[in-house]
Structure 1
Amino acid sequence: MTAGSPRNVAILIAALGGEGGGVLADWVAAVLRDAGYLCQTTSIPGVAQRTGATTYYIEYCSVPLAELGRRRPVFALTPVPGEVDVMLASELIEAARGVQNGYVTPERTTLIASSHRIYATAEKIAPGDGRFDDGRALKAVHELARRAVVFDMARATEAAGTVISAVLLGALAGAGALPAGRETFEAAIRAGGRGVEASLKGFALGFEAARGEPPATAGADPEPSGPATAPEDFPVETRYVVGQGLARCRDYQDRRHAEAYLARCREILALDRRLGGADRGWLLTNEACRFLALRMTYEDVIRVADLKSRPERYATLRRESRSGEQPLRITDFFKPGPEELCALLPVGLAERFLAALRRRGLERRFHLGLPLRSDTVTGFLLLRLVARLRGLRRGSWRWAQESAVTGRWLAATTAAAELDYAFGVEAARTADLVKGYSDTYRRGLESFDRLLAGLVEPAIAAGRQDAAGLARARTAALADPEGGALERYLAELEQPAAAGAPERRAVG
């Protein structure tokens, strides 16, 4: 509209796939039109696999249609940074993304968002801990919005048995951010005609929370199962980690495997006691036992089949898809590589198989694409059959390989700790590099080998410690899964030695 004319009001909605963002936009538009305002809605599709939300943009004229006469506003198709009045986000990082992109401003924007997290692809695929800092995100949305209405809408959604869009609509109404009363919002939900009762319940929870009353979602919390605990001869500070590892190893293989884990943990604890670990919060024991549990429960095709065929997995999928009593079709896509297949083969046969692949140049290109309908009787029974093959693990090539890597890692950790406590802790953390499967597993294993052979083991042999250098090298390896950053780091460390320097220096 022209200068001096009433301005338009901009509303931005950011929602993930399956959360009803389009329905929410339709509800908001219906509320505005029923209240007598002109509005326009547009949408920008997001990207699959959680790399971005689908955004919906709504503009309405702040002057009711009855008062416009012959004038008509001109609406924009996309939001403009600094010009958004209301933003709704179905997840915390999407709210923070709105702040980062300039859509949320302290002079203008009312931000309504859920504080729960759904991890983005970038967070999940990071070799290390790639999670964004929730605390910083929460601080930013509160500081940089004119008004922030933020609470855990996922709990309210689960309590109401609806989708999060209904809770967001309730919070929008409760915040008084639109020129319409509660009854107009509820009428828009009823006009939709589907899932009305559950949507109204979710709306009410959101409305009450935005008005300053905690949402009645206490019943949504699952019953705590209670953490597994370690034997009483372990210090209190270590019992949770060791107990979880013990339960994981038992679930992964059998009682004998769990006892082997516990015996190794006791050896680590004995070293930690001798090195004064009590004054350091038993950090060596906690870190080494944590990664030892992961090393002894490596992911293989047997483990994957077991987890994918458990009843709780089907219950989770049904709950998250909100399919109710409707049939749920589940297709799992497997792509095992040589290492996964060798989890089922004895050492000799696996070595011949891998040698044949190497001769043909197929070792890094051999994969089997196996889509499987795990919701069918045949698919489920096939998964259970593979899961029951855990008895083959101990005689498999993969078990032998993993045992050798774990033994080398434990030996390096112990020797490094004897030299310096912090050096031992950092050596324990190098196990974080070996994870995943197929190419990801091979790259991680190569980085782990380079780190031990290029830094840890030479330092141990020379009787010196380099905890800070090892921490930086490990960070470099995690930041670049291809291994280039680690190679450059190790090359820089070797330059002084090649020039005849008396001691290797740590490069920051």
Structure 2
Amino acid sequence: MSDRGILSSLRYLFADFIGEDDDTPPFLPEGLPEPVMAAASDAIHLLIDYQGTSYAELYVHRLRRFVGKQGVDEVMLTEIARLMAVRMTYEDPIRIAQLKLAELDGRPGAPAGSVDVKKFRLEELIGALPAVIAEYLLDALEWAGWLHKRVSIRFSTASRFGIRRLKIEAGLRRWRLLSVRYAKERVWVERWLHMIDRSLTKQPQAAPAIVQTATMIEGYGDVYRQGLADWNAIIDGLVKPTFDGVLALPDLAGAVIEARAAALPDPRQTALKRKIAEIRAGSNAA
């Protein structure tokens, strides 16, 4: 991540943290094609609901990098706008509490009180806390061998106590940008955007496939962890070596799609690692 990217993230982080955020949505990037405006506008409103206007401004700042960029057509820019918003609204316990509370909007026909049970890893729950607290707890959990322990959390609107607890959990939003999880997500988004940038320079025809790799990472718990591990395996095993000139893959898009097809819900990544090895071997032989 560049120094400029870090400074921009910190700027928006502290604007939100110290309360300088206002309710005015940021303007869409200048020169944004009209077909992309709907996706970007929806994303801005989603991000304001998720975290605040300064966070939506960070989104606009990131999107602006690709407006008018050579090789980026309206279809690709729309997908970048859409998928970046999805990843910036990652599902942590705070978000699930927000969504659960949103069910109580008072509209006719709105669902009655209900209970959802979600399974998280302990590292996810602790990772939603400010890093100054979370890092000590994570070290202690790792020492005890409980870091990846799964726990079930109830999100309930069926009682006053449940609703009060949801409000407390959703209120942690203010601290989200200081959390361990946010720091990791920020690095991931910047790396994804960087790989798209490099693809547009090194192998433009592969850029759409690189953009779509964002769909590999979703949800929470084991699903999230598996998707992130698979994404890193493909980027580190195929994409980055090709851009660095270490690996000769003239059809990088095809290689990425082929590797993704081999990704299974297997923590050991046996099939995926085998496929990546086959693709690399074929490249060396050629």
TM range (shorter): 0.7 to 0.9
Cα shift readout 1:239-291 (whole Å, capped 9, x = no counterpart): 122222222111111101111101111111232xx23x44xxx2321222221
CA shift for structure 1 position 311: 4.5
Q: 1:252 aligns with which of 29, 46, 50?
A: 50
Q: Which runs of 4+ in 1 moved over 3 A?
A: 229-232, 311-316, 370-373
In structure 1, the residue matched to 2:34 is 236
Give the match for residue 270 of structure 2. 484
Partner of 1:435: 218
Per the normalisation by structure 2, the TM-score is 0.80
Aligned position for 1:378:
161
- One-letter identity of the residue aligned with 1:394: L
334-343 or 298-307, which deviates more? 334-343
Q: 1:388 to 1:456 in 2, by over 3 A?
A: same
Task: Tell me by how many angstroms 1:395 deviates.
Answer: 0.6
CA contact (8 A) 1:231 1:239 kept: no
Q: Which residue of 2 aligns with 1:72?
A: none
Where 2:230 maps in the other structure, the secondary structure is helix
Q: Quick one: which amino acid aligns to residue 395 of structure 1?
A: L
Q: How does 1:271-420 map to 2 (within 5 A)?
A: 271=69, 274-275=70-71, 277-278=72-73, 282-311=74-103, 328=112, 330-364=114-148, 366-420=149-203
- 2:224, 2:65 → 1: CA distance? 28
Q: Deviations over 1:357-391 (max 9, x none)?
A: 33333222x23333354221111111011111111
Question: Matched residues in 2 for 1:486 and 1:389: separation?
Answer: 37
Structure number with greater CO (CA < 8 Å, separation at least 6) is 2
Count residues with an aligned counterpart.
255
CA distance in 2, matches of 1:330, 1:311: 9
More helix per residue: 2
* Counterpart Cα distance in 2 of 1:315 and 1:343: 34
Deviations 1:206-260 (CA, angstroms, capped at 9, x unpaired)? xxxxxxxxxxxxxxxxxxxxxxx95663112211222222221111111011111
Post-superposition CA distance 1:335-365 (Å, at most 9, x none): 332343134322243233223333333222x
Unaligned runs of 5+ in 2: 1-26
In structure 2, relative to structure 1, the CA distance for the partners of 1:457 and 1:231 (3 Å cut) is closer
For the aligned residue pairs, the C-alpha RMSD in angstroms reads: 2.4
SS of 2:65's partner is helix
Shift of 1:319: 5.3
Q: Distance in 1 between matches of 2:226 and 2:42?
A: 28
Instruction: Tell me, yes or no, if the aligned pair for 1:419 and 1:464 is still in contact at 8 Å.
Output: no
1:75-224, aligned counterparts within 5 Å?
none
Does the CA contact (< 8 Å) of 2:29 and 2:64 recur in 1? no
Q: Percent identity?
A: 30
- Code of the residue aligned with 1:361 in structure 2: it is G
Q: What's the offset of the Cα at 1:293? A: 0.8
- Change beyond 3 A, Cα 1:475–1:355: same
264 and 373 in structure 1: CA distance in 2 versus 1, 3 angstrom threshold: closer
- Aligned twin of 1:262: 60
Q: Report Cα offsets for 1:160-190 as digits up to 9, x if no partner.
A: xxxxxxxxxxxxxxxxxxxxxxxxxxxxxxx
Whose radius of gyration is greater, 1 or 2?
Answer: 1
| Aligned mates of 2:282, 2:154 — CA distance in 1 | 53
Give the drift of 1:397.
0.3
Gaps of 5+ in 1: 1-228, 321-327, 504-508
Shift of 1:409: 1.1
**Code of the aligned partner of 1:310:** A
Matched letter for residue 275 of structure 2? Y
Give the alignment partner of residue 424 of structure 1, picking from 186, 190, 207: 207
Task: Give yes or no for contact 1:347–1:396 (8 Å, CA) kept in 2.
Answer: yes
Distance apart, 1:312 and its partner CA: 5.1
Distance of 1:494 and 1:432 partners within structure 2:
23
Structure 1: how far apart are the matches of 2:34 and 2:113?
A: 45
Assess if the C-alpha contact under 8 Å between 2:100 and 2:156 holds in 1.
Answer: no
- Report if the CA contact (8 A) 2:123-2:138 is conserved: no
**Aligned partner of 1:259: which letter?**
E
Q: Secondary structure at the residue paired with 2:117?
A: strand
